[in-house]
Chains A and B, each alone.
Chain A
Amino acid sequence: MFSNLARLFRYRGLILSLVARELKARYRGSVLGFLWSFINPLLLLGVYWFIFTTILPNRTEGLQPYALFMLCGILPWTWFSASLTEASNSLIAGGNLIKKVLFPAEVLPLVSVLANLVHFLLPLPLVIALLVFVHRRPELAGLLWLPIVVVVQFVFTAGLALILAALTVHFRDIRDILTNVLMLWFFTTPIIYFYLQPEFRKYKLFFDVNPVAHLVISYQEILFLEGGFGHWKWLLALGVASSGVFLAGYWLFDRLRDSFAEIV
């Protein structure tokens, strides 16, 4: 298994080319092309802004503008959920490669996660600029933590992606189950609400066991909230746990690897 992991490093050229291909292919043929990576989050922000100031006004103290607060959680969530949805289907979609070419299958789910990482990172400077302009200047010490949050999220997502990709080959039901599980997960994670709001206090334990909650809280503290990045202990613990998830995911993937070419 570890020699296979080392091999993964050798495939970095392949992984990078595939990620580049994925990104190019996604916007090929559209007029605005790559600009969509920036326009989409802005449109989303516009929609939330409209809803949460006009239709469902949220005037919670310290979370204004509310739409921008939500965006800080929604962008990483989109990376997470889109990665898993695509990764779970990646082996089936890439069946041709697995069946007909000697191809390291684990590359496919990782490419899904990485391509969505790029979609997450591209609008991030824009979001930070907006924050500075509308809300406040994020603290530099907090921003230095940002890459670490991204790495932890990447490792965690990649581990889950490997597990889902490998299992979906055997149980295609997972694709449908996943859609609904992600929906539930989205609402139970403090993204569109603030985890310290008094009415959610009683769910603290529930948030504590939710890895994505810690990621989202980290992003919110670093980018949006006043008072510095206090969540770092949780983040580091999650980092350790994520490495475990990744190794477990890779182990499972490796175990099932030989079955892919036959069943896909």
Chain B
Amino acid sequence: MTPAIELVNVSKVYRRYTGQHFATLKSALLQRSVLRDLQPDQTFLALNDVSFSVPKGCTYGVIGRNGSGKSTALKIVAGITKPTSGTARVEGRVSALIELGAGFHPEISGRENVFINGIMLGLSRREVQRRFDEIVDFAEVRDFIDAPVKTYSSGMYMRLGFAVAIHVDPDVLLVDEVLAVGDEGFTHKCLDKFAEFRRRGKTILIVTHSLAIVERLCDQALWLEHGHPGASGDPRRVIDAYLTAVEVGEGEFLASAARKAVVAKPGRADATDAPASRDAGSPPDMFQAVEGRWGSRAVEITDVSLLDGRGEPCFVFHSGDPLSVRLKARATQPTDDFVFGVSLFNADGVCCYGTNTYLEEMEPEQLTGDVEVAFHIRSLELVEGTYKLDVAVHKKDGYPFDYHRLLYTFRVTSRTHDLGIYRPEHRWTFSAGVQFKATEHEDQ
């Protein structure tokens, strides 16, 4: 299958002009050096030989520090700027959420702006007409749609911009740091919209500083550092590599601040950072580590087994069965700073649940020699599917002793083909007048 987005050896050089440039028309004309003066005085390499491809239907995250070339990469994919060398190819209709409401005219009404903005983004007038109600409802500006947009609050303005851009119905959606457009409720709505895009097999490219979003939404990620591709692939590993680099670069103090920032990101489910080794003190050989396992091994996880209700090793569970995860670990020397963590991922890489002993407020006191740790789930309320397991032991600050990434797989079967990632314990009740055929209802 051809990838939806493909960048091959893309470099982008920006010119940096000194102030003198703008005073050169006279000399340019006199010395007939117009073309020469259009050459840059200094250049700045924003992207240096970057290649990546995003398969159709994939949600791809790009992270990196400010000025690392993320937005430039996005603009190249969007076709707004051309690469200096290399090629960029995108398949299908593209919509870029780079600056929301960029084309709005403040003096005219929201209604007219929706039409013009939609047409700018490539819709026909009729297509905008058809989606108009949906757009207005999504943006929650129904009462103000006939007022000039200069009277809108910045939140309304952004929401309307977002609503128009997302209703263009692109095959490829490019998102640049725009999830901060509204209150919590609206952010959730945006995330739901992205999830809907994913379900419909659309490709999404996200550039963001919100690592939580990358971890939660993305199938793959890329880390750009000064225009160079750093790590790429599994989002969690990329994020870890990125955070490691941040720490190395900025020292312990700043790093811990960054870590707090990561933890404090709003909307970040506790689950996602439960066993995370987002620290950086990771050993330098982290990249050489066997895929799926890293850490200093000061405490080593020697064995992991999945047990059923009778304590027997098992890999296939029925929904509702008990499940235990048993770790055997060995501390090469006694330590008083340790956290055990477990998290469950479904086949899409969505973290269904994650926790650790520290999050559950167990203050570590002493860990010596060979130990056994078990994590018991009384009733596995998951829908049918294949699940993978992270297990880890690390320091309270995240420094990994031994991190096992998605190394253990189990399967959940169920008679009910219900959907989602979590099955809350539930039952149905019906008033008189609702009847089901007895056998069918039993199957439910």
Q: Contact flags (1/0) for A13-31 with B, using CB distance below 8 Å?
A: 1100110010011001100
Question: CA A172 – CA B99 in complex, angstroms?
Answer: 25
B354 to chain A, nearest CB (A): 37
B residues near A174, Cβ cutoff 8 Å: 25
Q: Contact flags (1/0) for A76-106 with B, using CB distance below 8 Å?
A: 0000000000000000000011111111000
**Is A17 a contact partner of B115 (Cβ separation < 8 A)?**
yes
Q: Is A199 an interface residue (CB 8 A)?
A: no
Question: CA A258 – CA B24 in complex, angstroms?
Answer: 21
A residues near B38, Cβ cutoff 8 Å: 170, 259
Partner of A261, one of B28, B75, B116, B121: B75
B residues near A14, Cβ cutoff 8 Å: 119-120
**Is B96 a contact partner of A21 (Cβ separation < 8 A)?**
no
With CB as the reference atom, state the residue of chain B lying closest to A28: B107
B28 to chain A, nearest CB (A): 8
Partner of A101, one of B14, B24, B98: B98
Q: Is A262 an interface residue (CB 8 A)?
A: yes
Residue positions of B touching A, CB distance < 8 A: 14-15, 22-25, 28, 38, 75, 78-82, 94, 96, 98-99, 102-103, 105, 107-108, 112, 115-116, 119-121, 124-125, 148
Partner of A29, one of B75, B103, B107, B112: B107
Question: CA A259 – CA B40 in complex, angstroms?
Answer: 11
**Is A28 a contact partner of B15 (Cβ separation < 8 A)?**
no
Question: CA A259 – CA B84 in complex, angstroms?
Answer: 11
Contacts A24-B108, A170-B38: A100 and B99 contacting too (C-beta < 8 A)? yes
A residues near B14, Cβ cutoff 8 Å: 262
Question: CA A24 – CA B75 in complex, angstroms?
Answer: 31
Contacts A96-B102, A172-B22, A173-B25: A101 and B120 contacting too (C-beta < 8 A)? yes
With CB as the reference atom, state the residue of chain B lying closest to A174: B25
Q: Is A171 an interface residue (CB 8 A)?
A: yes
29 A-B pairs with C-beta separation under 8 A: A14-B119, A17-B116, A21-B105, A21-B108, A24-B107, A24-B112, A25-B105, A25-B107, A25-B108, A96-B103, A97-B102, A97-B120, A98-B80, A99-B80, A99-B99, A100-B96, A100-B99, A100-B102, A101-B80, A101-B99, A101-B102, A101-B121, A102-B79, A102-B80, A172-B22, A173-B22, A173-B23, A261-B75, A262-B14
**Is B121 a contact partner of A21 (Cβ separation < 8 A)?**
no
Question: CA A99 – CA B71 in complex, angstroms?
Answer: 11
Residue positions of A touching B, CB distance < 8 A: 13-14, 17-18, 21, 24-25, 28-29, 96-103, 170-174, 177, 258-259, 261-262
Contacts A21-B108, A24-B108, A100-B98: A258 and B120 contacting too (C-beta < 8 A)? no
The interface centre, meaning the residue of A14, A101, A262 with most chain B CB atoms within 10 A of its CB, is A101
A residues near B98, Cβ cutoff 8 Å: 100-101
**Is A261 a contact partner of B81 (Cβ separation < 8 A)?**
yes
**Is B108 a contact partner of A28 (Cβ separation < 8 A)?**
yes
**Is B103 a contact partner of A13 (Cβ separation < 8 A)?**
no
Contacts A28-B108, A100-B102 known; list 17 others, CB within 8 Å.
A14-B120, A24-B107, A24-B112, A25-B105, A25-B107, A28-B148, A96-B102, A99-B80, A100-B96, A100-B99, A101-B102, A102-B78, A172-B22, A173-B22, A173-B23, A173-B25, A262-B15
**Is B120 a contact partner of A103 (Cβ separation < 8 A)?**
yes
B residues near A262, Cβ cutoff 8 Å: 14-15, 81
Question: CA A177 – CA B148 in complex, angstroms?
Answer: 35
The interface centre, meaning the residue of A99, A173, A262 with most chain B CB atoms within 10 A of its CB, is A262
With CB as the reference atom, state the residue of chain B lying closest to A172: B22
Question: CA A32 – CA B80 in complex, angstroms?
Answer: 40
Question: CA A102 – CA B90 in complex, angstroms?
Answer: 13
A256 to chain B, nearest CB (A): 8
B residues near A28, Cβ cutoff 8 Å: 107-108, 148
Partner of A13, one of B22, B75, B79, B119: B119
A108 to chain B, nearest CB (A): 11
B164 to chain A, nearest CB (A): 11
B residues near A170, Cβ cutoff 8 Å: 38
B residues near A102, Cβ cutoff 8 Å: 78-80, 94, 96
With CB as the reference atom, state the residue of chain B lying closest to A103: B120
A residues near B112, Cβ cutoff 8 Å: 21, 24
Question: CA A100 – CA B25 in complex, angstroms?
Answer: 28
B residues near A97, Cβ cutoff 8 Å: 102-103, 120
A232 to chain B, nearest CB (A): 37
A residues near B102, Cβ cutoff 8 Å: 96-97, 100-101
B17 to chain A, nearest CB (A): 8
Question: CA A43 – CA B196 in complex, angstroms?
Answer: 58
Question: CA A24 – CA B79 in complex, angstroms?
Answer: 31
Question: CA A153 – CA B336 in complex, angstroms?
Answer: 85
With CB as the reference atom, state the residue of chain A lying closest to B115: A17
Sort A-B residue pairs by CB-CB distance and give the 4 closest, nearest first: A100-B99, A25-B107, A100-B102, A171-B25
B residues near A17, Cβ cutoff 8 Å: 115-116, 119, 125
A residues near B116, Cβ cutoff 8 Å: 17-18, 21
